[in-house]
Amino acid sequence: MNIPLDAIAAFNTVGGIKPAYIRMEDEAHRLHTYKIANIEFTKDENYSGVQSLLFVCNVDMGDCMKCIKIRYLIDTHKWLLVS
C-alpha cells in the first residue's frame, strides 16, 4: 500500500535528490511533520513502469527513531510512503 505524503527535499547541481522532512496525516486527519535523520540507501527503480527513486530513511518521530521507505515518482513529482 502506498500512501501519498508531502516532502521537503534538497536538490544538488547534478539533479540528485535528498529528502529532509516528510508530513503525513494520521487517522484523525491531523498533520504531523517529521525530520529525516539519515538516509540508509537510495535505489533507482522501475515501479510498475514508472521511473522512481526509493529511499530507505530513519525518521525522528519524537520518542523513537523509525525506519521507513519513501518513493519519489520522477514523472509526476509525487512522494509516497511505502508500507
Residues 26-69 have pLDDT tens digits of: 889 999 999 999 999 999 999 789 999 999 999 998 889 999 99
pLDDT of residue 83: 80
Q: Which residues contact 54 (CB under 8 A, 6 or more apart)?
A: 42, 43, 45, 47, 69, 70, 71, 82
Is residue 7 within 8 A of residue 22, CB to CB? The reply is yes
Q: Which residues contact 73 (CB under 8 A, 6 or more apart)?
A: 47, 50, 51, 52, 79, 80
Would you say residue 71 has pLDDT above 90?
yes
pLDDT of residue 9: 97
Entry pTM: 0.90
Is residue 8 within 8 A of residue 18, CB to CB? The reply is no
